[in-house]
Amino acid sequence: MELNSHNKQEYPPMHTAEHILNQTMVRMFGCPRSKNTHIERKKSKCDYLLESCPSDEQVEAICTTINQVIAQELPITVEFLSQAEAAALVDLSKLPANVSDTLRIVRVGDYDACACIGAHVENTREIGEFHIISHSFEDGIWRVRFKLKAREN
């Protein structure tokens, strides 16, 4: 769940790409959403709890899947739900204890839904092309570093 507030200016395309990456990891590996995340304009990283390092083929499949989702030009929508309503849609295990009963749920089309206070694009076509630039695996944590490139028309 992306509930971190950032003092520095957020970069909506990268933040939205992180949502798609998280959902792709959940679907492909059955793991939780990222354990630790650092989002910046030039490059970002996420940590996932996995039993083993993904193979080169799996890493390539992650990129391919994310870029296929981006290419669908999905709308990004926001809705406000009670915690009880949201619990049916999203994992609330990372919610801080002092959070209000009303949660802001961000949806990436029908691909992902997540409680999040961050800034996002309005449509996945604004994200660009997703690239994994490096990854490492240590002590059950897979760290993936990624960047976005402008789409070539």
pLDDT value for 62: 98
140 burial via Cβ count (<10 Å: 0-12, 13-18, 19+): exposed
The per-residue DSSP string of 77-144 comes to EEEEEEHHHHHTTS--TT--TT--SEEEEEEETTTEEEEB-S---SBGGGT-EEEEEEEEEETTEEEE
Distance of CA 143 to the CA centre of its chain: 14
pLDDT value for 152: 67
pLDDT value for 13: 96
CATH numbers and ranges of domains, the chain: 12-149 (3.30.980.10)
Q: Is the pLDDT of residue 3 over 60?
A: no
pLDDT tens-digit readout, 4-49: 444 346 799 999 999 999 999 999 999 999 989 999 999 999 999 9
Residues 6+ apart with CB under 8 A from 101: 82, 83
Tell me the CB-side half-sphere exposure of residue 31, using CA atoms within 13 A.
Answer: 21
Arithmetic mean of pLDDT, 75-84: 95
Q: What is the pTM of this model?
A: 0.90
pLDDT tens-digit readout, 88-144: 888 888 788 888 889 999 999 999 999 998 899 999 999 999 999 999 999 999 999
